[in-house]
Copies of this chain bind each other. A is one copy, B any other.
Amino acid sequence: MKHAERLTANKLKITPRRNEIIEIFEKQKKYLSSEEVWNFLKKKFKKCGLPGVYRNLESLVECGILFKIICFNDDKKQYGLCSVGNEKHHHHLICIKCKKISAFENCSLNDKKKVNGYLIVNHYSQLNGICPECQKNF
């Protein structure tokens, strides 16, 4: 599913800001903070408020184009491009050195199952590691 389809399927409009945000993530190939996205965006759009950036990042997460990094130490929220989309169940693997993102599809957890008597609705996972390139360089 293409990005534009994904937007319209979620009643989100295709705007220059959104196209540019997606392009930024495609070029950078790593996860970015809201402020980093804003800095890139300001190069293209003079008038460009931070609230709009936050709103767009959230919208893009809602429709599955971006995802939020599970991040407990950083003071800013971090977002990444979801290359798999939400067709397949998967999680993300991130490099703690260079912030590169990789998909991880071998997840053994099934929603709709029961665990400890709980009816599972959904689950989150994230693997943090060091990518092959960074293993060489450090």
Contacts and interface: CB of A to CB of B under 8 A. Distances in A.
Contacts of A108: 108
What is the total number of copies of this protein in its complex? 2
A50 interface: no
Given A121-B129, A121-B130, A93 B116 contact: yes
A32 B92 CA distance: 27
A132 B119 CA distance: 8
A104 B96 contact: no
Interface in A109-133: 109, 112, 115-132
Contacts of A102: 115-116, 118
Dominant SS among interface residues on chain A: strand
Q: Could you say which of A96, A109, A135 has the most chain B C-beta atoms within 10 Å of its C-beta?
A: A109
A120 B128 contact: yes
B115 A123 contact: no
A12 B126 CA distance: 29
A61 to B, nearest CB: 8
A120 B130 CA distance: 7
Top 8 closest A-B pairs, CB basis? A118-B129, A117-B132, A120-B129, A125-B125, A119-B130, A123-B127, A108-B108, A102-B116
